[in-house]
Amino acid sequence: MIRLSWLQFRAQALTAAAALAAFAILLAATGPHLASRYATSAITGCHGGTCFSAAITFLSQLQATSPYAIVYLLGIAVILVAPAITGIFWGAPLIARELEAGTYQLAWTQSITRTRWLVVKLVLTGLAAVAVTEALSLMYAWWADPIAKAIDLGGSTSLFSGGRFSLATFATHGITPLGYAAFAFTLGTAAGALIRRTVPAMAVTLAIFAAAQVVMPLGVRPHLIPPDHTVATIQSVDLDFGNLTATVVPRQPGAWILSSEAINAAAQTTSQLPAACEAAGSGLKPSSPGPCLESRGFREAITYEPGGRYWPLQWIETGIFLVLALALAGFCFWRVSRRRT
Amino acid sequence: MTAVIETSGLGKRYRRTWALRDCTLAIPEGHVVGLVGPNGAGKTTLLHLATGLQAPTSGTISVLGAPPPSSPGQLGRVGFVAQNTPVYARMRVADHLRLGAWLNPSWDEKLAQQRIGELDLDPRQRAGTLSGGQRAQLALTLALAKRPELLLLDEPVAALDPLARREFLRGLMEAVAAHGTSVVMSSHLVADLERVCDYLVVLVASRVRVAGEVSALLATHCRLSGPRRDPDTLPADLEVIEESHTDKQSVLLVRTGEPVHDPAWTVLPVSLEDLVLAYMNPANEMAVRRPQLGLV
């Protein structure tokens, strides 16, 4: 059965291998240059406050240089889309195509139980789908390492702004791509087993997976571990004065800020600068309204996840998707064997 | 008599509609059995239940003396050629043989190669580009090379042209003769079955209308024509299957154990096709509600 699965999966596997190779070539062609730019930048040997400005200089120069910005975005897009692609083109037809073409009548009347047939198909194709996505993610993490380091030092530009907790970065690095890929693949297979037609199953897979990619970071991830709260003085907070939100938590480097708001002397939340501070804030220098607000008793309330929770959150999110994937695989087995029992 | 397929009160429901309902039959071994019936009689469902592809909603079915195949060993004993003879369109002919060899411990590679050679199929050709006849032959090769004890075929020749049909049935007959396989083949084309089947089961709306060896069926049925007569006045041993009357004349298709000697009747033999059509015609259903003779 393994040999048959490989025979039937070979063409798709070769396509995936070609796509991986193309991605690897793109990264290998630009990665070493990126690493040497980082090594020769002012970040090397920096200390204290100079690192911050060195990081900003490095990133803004990088953003202005043609291939890096494109590869940076392309890489994230590829890793976000890869699970959907494997779910749609590998998962959805796995059972649906057999039912649609009637070939299940051939496959399931050989001297092999259909449970075994499905085990081999699911495991072989599913592992390939997971491996492809994770390989993309690892290659990309290697390529983007200098950018990630500069961002960790506090550097940011309009493009290179996402720390490791940012929406696009969290789901494309670490172990979460494994979970997303396993989920998308089994989702496609289960949709195919339920709908019994390939194209509608593909559409349903895409819709549900895209929804999961939105719901997980916005609706679920912030609640996985109860966040911490702190109230900081305005001047200790790196504040985006346009809307009075904090961008850095004091003494919590690399923390993930879930929400922040200014509170006035009466402990009420506010989104407006007092008129007296408005003038000070109208200048481009962001630090200027700080003392003004500080003197009027303004403080900043911040809800955040400490940086140390990065890996726990990665494990929990991946675990959730793996459990969902197992449940969907179980549904496929039930659906396939139900035709008999 | 050992039965290759034996059912009792067998039923299969899809959502709200019954595809097969309260079907009780026994198909003896060692025959090439034609399973005939109009579309929707439940032939495909019956065969799917026998292969284990479907599970019954009600009743019981046994195949080769055991429940329908689910274990590898049982699956190996039953070969199946499905309706429209599905094959993997993108796989080559040779790959299908490898599939058979990999998935069936009882695989007869020599038989498979020999058939592919005789059929003049190019092993490198993709199955999706085969003609309907070639595809059916490939599907039959897969089922035969598995060396099953029972071979089930669901309308295997329905979509084929007459020449391909003849070739297919010839190949089937050769293999059956060589290996003594029991065969159950469904069709709604009686002419095809007449050539190859020695046993017939007529299934109408899940019910067995008539079943028996073809020679016995032909010997016990005849057509009578003569002056108009009320069928109720006929001798009790004449079972009227089909009747038609004009003002002056009656034509009856009857089942009888004894030769008809009444000089009022002109006695004519019936063809298998006429016989089957008479049993399949729903208008005749009332006439055969009487207890049936012989096998069920």
Q: In Å, how far is A117's CA from the nearest CA of chain B? A: 10
Q: Closest-CA residue in chain B for A8?
A: B91
Dig out the tokens for B8 from the structure. Answer: 């009792």
Model confidence pLDDT, tens digit, residues B174-205: 988 888 899 999 987 788 888 889 999 999 88
Model confidence pLDDT, tens digit, residues A8-61: 999 999 999 999 999 999 999 999 999 999 999 988 888 877 888 899 999 999
Q: What is the mean pLDDT of residues B249-263?
A: 86
Dig out the tokens for A5 from the structure. Answer: 């699965």
CA-nearest of B45, B64, B100, B250 to A106 is B100
Question: Cβ(B81)–Cβ(B151) under 8 Å?
Answer: yes
- Best probe of the B interface among A1, A94, A111, A333, by most B CBs < 10 A, is A111
Q: What is the pLDDT of residue A339?
A: 64
For B3, the 3-state DSSP assignment is strand
Burial B224-257 (b: 16+ CB within 10 A, else e): bebeebeeeebeeebbbbbbeeeeeebbbbbbbe
Using the structure block, give the residue that is written with the tokens 């897969």.
Answer: B142
- Report field, pTM of the whole predicted structure over 0.95: no
Q: What is the pLDDT of residue A268?
A: 82
Residues above pLDDT 70, as percent of chain B: 96
Instruction: Label residue A288 by pLDDT band (50, 70, 90).
Output: low
Q: Closest-CA residue in chain B for A97?
A: B88
Chain B residues in contact with chain A using a Cβ-Cβ cutoff of 8 Å: 51-55, 68-73, 75-76, 78-80, 82-84, 86-91, 95, 98-100, 102-106, 139, 142, 146
Question: Cβ(B93)–Cβ(B116) under 8 Å?
Answer: yes
Instruction: Label residue A201 by pLDDT band (50, 70, 90).
Output: very high
Angle at the Cα of A224 from the Cα atoms of A219 and A228, rounded to 5 degrees: 105
Rounding to the nearest 10 degrees, give the CA dihedral for residues B202, B204, B207, B213.
0
Q: How many helices (H) and strands (E) does chain B have?
A: 9, 13
Residue A341 in this model has a pLDDT that exceeds 50: no
Q: What is the mean pLDDT of residues A124-145?
A: 96
Residue A285 in this model has a pLDDT that exceeds 70: no
Distance CA B266, CA B256 (A): 15
| Closest in B55, B71, B82 to A113, CB measured | B71
Cβ-defined contact of A112 to B103 (cutoff 8 Å): yes
Cβ-defined contact of A4 to B105 (cutoff 8 Å): no
Q: In Å, how far is A125's CA from the nearest CA of chain B? A: 18
- Best probe of the B interface among A105, A116, A337, by most B CBs < 10 A, is A105
State residue B56 phi and psi, 5-degree precision: -70, 150
Least confident interval from A246-250, A304-308, B23-27: A246-250
Instruction: Label residue A274 by pLDDT band (50, 70, 90).
Output: confident
Q: What is the mean pLDDT of residues B77-91?
A: 94
CA-nearest of A192, A176, A132 to A329 is A192
Q: Closest-CA residue in chain B for A339?
A: B54
A300 shares a domain with A151: no
A282 shares a domain with A195: no
A131 shares a domain with A83: yes
A272 shares a domain with A182: no
Q: What is the mean pLDDT of residues A61-68?
A: 88
A158 shares a domain with A36: yes
Instruction: Label residue B39 by pLDDT band (50, 70, 90).
Output: confident
Cβ-defined contact of B91 to A102 (cutoff 8 Å): no
Listed by number, the residues of chain A in 95-124 with a beta carbon closer than 8 Å to a beta carbon of chain B are 101-106, 108-113
Q: What is the pLDDT of residue B295?
A: 41
Distance CA A143, CA A165 (A): 18
Using the structure block, give the residue that is written with the tokens 């993709």.
Answer: B126
All domains of chain B in start order, with CATH: 3-205 (3.40.50.300), 220-288 (no CATH)
**What single DSSP character describes residue A41?**
S
Q: What is the pLDDT of residue A270?
A: 78
Distance CA A139, CA B35 (A): 61
Q: What is the DSSP string of B133-187?
A: HHHHHHHHHHHHHT--SEEEEESTTTTS-HHHHHHHHHHHHHHHHHH--EEEEEE
Dig out the tokens for B184 from the structure. Answer: 């159950």
Residues pairing with B225 in the sheet: B251, B266
User: Where is pLDDT greater, at B268 or A287?
Assistant: B268
User: Where is pLDDT greater, at A203 or B187?
Assistant: A203
Least confident interval from A199-203, A245-249, B42-46: A245-249
Q: What is the DSSP string of A317-334?
A: HHHHHHHHHHHHHHHHHH
Q: What is the pLDDT of residue A284?
A: 45
| Closest in A1, A102, A103 to B102, CB measured | A1
A109 shares a domain with A12: yes
Cβ-defined contact of B75 to A112 (cutoff 8 Å): yes
Question: Cβ(A80)–Cβ(A86) under 8 Å?
Answer: no
Q: What is the mean pLDDT of residues B65-81?
A: 91
| CA dihedral over A273, A276, A281, A286, signed as positive or negative | negative
- Best probe of the B interface among A110, A334, A336, by most B CBs < 10 A, is A110
| ipTM score for this prediction | 0.88
Q: What is the pLDDT of residue A283?
A: 46
A142 shares a domain with A48: yes
Q: In Å, how far is A119's CA from the nearest CA of chain B? A: 14
Residues in chain B: 296
| Closest in A11, A101, A105 to B80, CB measured | A105
Provide the mean pLDDT of chain A: 89
Q: What is the pLDDT of residue A303?
A: 92
| Closest in A109, A113, A341 to B55, CB measured | A341
A200 shares a domain with A142: yes
| Closest in B72, B82, B104 to A105, CB measured | B82
Q: What is the pLDDT of residue A199?
A: 97
Distance CA B173, CA B161 (A): 18
Q: What is the mean pLDDT of residues A165-184?
A: 94
**How many structural domains comprise chain A?**
2
Q: Which of chain B's residues have a Cβ under 8 Å away from the Cβ of A109?
A: 51-53, 69, 75, 78-80, 82
Taking residue A277's Cβ as centre, other Cβ atoms within 10 Å add up to 21
Instruction: Label residue A249 by pLDDT band (50, 70, 90).
Output: confident
Residue A250 in this model has a pLDDT that exceeds 90: no
Cβ-defined contact of A110 to B90 (cutoff 8 Å): no
Cβ-defined contact of A109 to B79 (cutoff 8 Å): yes
Residues above pLDDT 90, as percent of chain A: 65
Residues pairing with B187 in the sheet: B36
Q: What is the mean pLDDT of residues A206-219?
A: 96
A73 shares a domain with A199: yes
Model confidence pLDDT, tens digit, residues A290-324: 777 788 888 888 999 999 999 999 999 999 999 99
- Best probe of the A interface among B54, B77, B103, by most A CBs < 10 A, is B103
Q: What is the DSSP string of B46-114?
A: HHHHHHTSS--SEEEEEETTBSSP-SHHHHHHEEEE-TT----TTSBHHHHHHHHHHH-TT--HHHHHH
A285 shares a domain with A183: no
Cβ-defined contact of B55 to A340 (cutoff 8 Å): yes
State residue A229 phi and psi, 5-degree precision: -125, 150
Residue A279 in this model has a pLDDT that exceeds 90: no
Q: Closest-CA residue in chain A for B81?
A: A106
Q: Which residue range(s) make up the domain with A285?
A: 228-305
Q: Which amino acid appears at position B284 of this protein?
A: N
Distance CA A213, CA A171 (A): 9
Model confidence pLDDT, tens digit, residues B193-236: 888 899 999 998 888 889 999 999 999 999 998 888 887 778 87
A124 shares a domain with A259: no
Question: Cβ(A178)–Cβ(A130) under 8 Å?
Answer: yes
| Secondary element (H or E) of residue B239 | strand B238-245
Model confidence pLDDT, tens digit, residues B123-178: 999 999 999 999 999 999 999 999 999 999 999 988 888 888 898 999 899 988 88
Q: What is the pLDDT of residue B145?
A: 95
CA-nearest of B52, B270, B40 to B155 is B40
Residue A117 in this model has a pLDDT that exceeds 80: yes
**What single DSSP character describes residue A219?**
I
Burial of B199 (0-12, 13-18, 19+ CB in 10 A): buried
User: Where is pLDDT greater, at B160 or A105?
Assistant: A105
Q: What is the pLDDT of residue A156?
A: 82
A290 shares a domain with A193: no
